[in-house]
């Protein structure tokens, strides 16, 4: 007689908030534990030699070694895939690791990609410095100059990249237009959805093909765990000849073709009941090639913390956005504030895009500048009492930063200006405190400026 299954499984038609709680987190089949267990094991016992051989040959799925697969990581991967509406996901050590692995699936020495210039400073340096060591080239283009973006493409271009809500400026990007450009060139649109989270923006619904996250930020929400995600939509044609890592025989798997095997028309898609619809070739390759060889795996404990944070994602993000709009409106009216950039403000340049792509709110992040310039900004960050001077965002607490001397300090003045991090720029990530307390702290700090 088969043992009775525990209840508590995710409904097949579950809505977003329900998925945050249940997706990927079935009760433990042995103990019935409701919370996903932290599996702190490096290796996993195989049933027999045939089971081991099948898993190493990618003919069966299951945990092998925590650098490649782990049950706690698997659970949070299923959760983010469900929340983004994707086919599959991969959890890794950080957002930077997610970007590196994503591009390692597409680029070989001499290849190229195009990106908008409204980016996190660490992404600018990763793309413009580290990637050069691999022979990967990049073109930075204004986020709304679509003619320049199209002209930047070459016969070696393999992807178009952007942030859905840009860090540090908080401006909203026209995903649909960028997707049209990417697809007209036969390449994927890769979207960093860190600042928005899937609660505010669902990039796959607007043409994106791959999503990356720094899960350290809004998804985790508590500033206590590092992690990153890659999510695959599953319907991009990787067999065009542009992407040999995915379409051509792989020597380390005895000539297996990743897209042929794991794409939407491959035999493995049939195992999931999705043949002809979606595939998971990109994620399988990122896991079994890039992650296997470069090793930037997520800690099971961090995967657990991030998963717990994601359970309250809709509650936190709604509070973040409500607070952020109130604080932005307060600052916009303050006599010592020169400007505020926030998509939620009706007179902001990206307000129309905000209403189109993230109608629930424009997020927690925005920038502002004081009339006193750099020195006044420095005085303000030194004068806040409750708000913390921290190089992070998406925390449950309000955080402030001075990008040009912190996250964007390694960039040139021209690069900082393009990214929206001029010398006077202050970045604030609004938390979930009572908004009156956030405003009170900023008000007393502004009095010193």
Separation between Cα atoms, residue 397 and residue 430, nearest integer Å: 7
CA dihedral 270→272→276→278, nearest 10 degrees, is -140
Is residue 273's pLDDT more than 90? no
Determine contact, residues 344/351, Cβ cutoff 8 Å: yes
DSSP 89: E
- Lowest-pLDDT range of 83-87, 261-265, 404-408: 404-408
Tens of pLDDT, residue by residue over 303-314, are 999 999 999 999
Give me the chain's average pLDDT, please.
92
SS3 call for 210? strand
Residues 6+ apart with CB under 8 A from 127: 115, 119, 138, 140
Whether residue 156 has pLDDT greater than 60: yes
Angstrom distance (rounded) from CA 115 to CA 117: 6
User: Which pLDDT belongs to residue 5?
Assistant: 59
- Residue pair 191/206 in contact (Cβ under 8 Å)? The answer is no
88 three-class SS: strand
> Both tokens of residue 98?
């997610």
- What is the C-alpha separation between 75 and 352, in angstroms, rounded? 36
Task: Please state whether beta strands 399-401 and 388-389 pair in parallel, antiparallel, or not at all (unpaired).
Answer: parallel
| 3 state SS of 401 | strand
- pLDDT tens readout for residues 160-182: 999 999 988 788 999 999 999 99
How does pLDDT run across 379-397, given as a tens digit for each residue? 999 999 999 998 889 999 9
Question: What pLDDT score was predicted for residue 170?
Answer: 84
User: Is the preceding omega at residue 35 within 30 degrees of 0, hence cis?
Assistant: no
DSSP 65: B
Residues 6+ apart with CB under 8 A from 186: 240, 242
Burial degree of 77 (CB within 10 A; 0-12, 13-18, 19+): buried
Q: Which run of H or E residues covers position 436?
A: helix 435-446
Q: Which two tokens stand for residue 441?
A: 């702290």
What 3-state DSSP class applies to 444? Answer: helix
pLDDT at 1 over 50: no
Q: Which has more pLDDT, 377 or 340?
A: 340
pLDDT at 2 over 50: no
pTM tops 0.85: yes
Distance CA 285, CA 106 (A): 10
What residues does 192 pair with on adjacent strands?
A: 163, 212
Contact partners, residue 282, CB within 8 Å, separation at least 6 = 105, 210, 230, 232, 236, 238, 246
* Alpha-carbon span 449 to 447, nearest angstrom: 6
Position 29 scores a pLDDT of 81
């Amino acid at each position: 007689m088969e043992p009775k299954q525990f209840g508590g499984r995710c409904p097949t038609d579950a809505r977003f908030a329900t998925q945050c709680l249940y997706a990927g987190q079935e009760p433990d089949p042995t103990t019935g534990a409701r919370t996903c267990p932290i599996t702190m094991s490096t290796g996993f016992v195989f049933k027999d030699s045939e089971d081991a051989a099948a898993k190493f040959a990618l003919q069966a799925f299951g945990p092998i070694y925590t650098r490649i697969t782990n049950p706690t990581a698997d659970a949070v991967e299923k959760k983010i895939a469900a929340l983004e509406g994707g086919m599959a996901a991969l959890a890794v050590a950080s957002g930077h690791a997610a970007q590196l692995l994503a591009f390692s699936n597409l680029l070989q020495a001499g290849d190229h990609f195009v990106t908008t210039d409204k980016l996190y400073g660490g992404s600018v340096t990763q793309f413009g410095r580290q990637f050069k060591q691999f022979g990967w080239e990049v073109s930075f283009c204004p986020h709304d100059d679509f003619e320049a973006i199209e002209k930047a493409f070459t016969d070696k271009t393999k992807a178009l990249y952007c942030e859905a809500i840009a860090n540090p400026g908080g401006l909203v990007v026209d995903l649909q237009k960028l997707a049209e450009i990417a697809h007209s060139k036969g390449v994927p649109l890769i979207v960093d959805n860190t600042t928005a989270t899937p609660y505010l923006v669902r990039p796959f619904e607007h043409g994106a093909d791959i999503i990356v996250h720094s899960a350290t930020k809004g998804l985790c929400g508590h500033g206590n765990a590092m992690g990153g995600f890659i999510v695959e939509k599953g319907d991009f044609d990787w067999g065009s000849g542009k992407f040999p890592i995915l379409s051509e025989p792989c020597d380390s798997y005895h000539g297996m073709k990743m897209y042929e095997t794991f794409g939407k028309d491959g035999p493995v898609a049939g195992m999931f009941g999705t043949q002809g619809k979606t595939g998971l070739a990109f994620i399988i390759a990122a896991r079994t090639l890039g992650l296997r060889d470069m090793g930037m795996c997520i800690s099971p404990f961090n995967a657990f913390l991030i998963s717990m944070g994601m359970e309250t994602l809709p509650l936190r993000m709604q509070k973040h956005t409500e607070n952020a709009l109130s604080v932005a409106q307060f600052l916009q009216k303050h006599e010592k504030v020169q400007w505020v950039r926030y998509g939620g403000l009706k007179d902001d340049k990206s307000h129309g895009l905000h209403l189109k792509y993230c109608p629930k709110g424009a997020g927690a992040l925005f920038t502002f500048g004081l009339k006193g310039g750099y020195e006044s900004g420095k005085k303000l960050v030194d004068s806040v009492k409750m708000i913390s001077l921290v190089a992070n965002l998406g925390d449950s607490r309000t955080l402030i930063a001075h990008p040009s001397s912190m996250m964007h300090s390694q960039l040139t003045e021209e690069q900082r200006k393009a990214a929206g991090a001029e010398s006077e720029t202050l970045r604030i990530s609004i938390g979930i405190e009572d908004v009156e307390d956030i405003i009170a702290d900023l008000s007393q700090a502004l009095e010193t400026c």
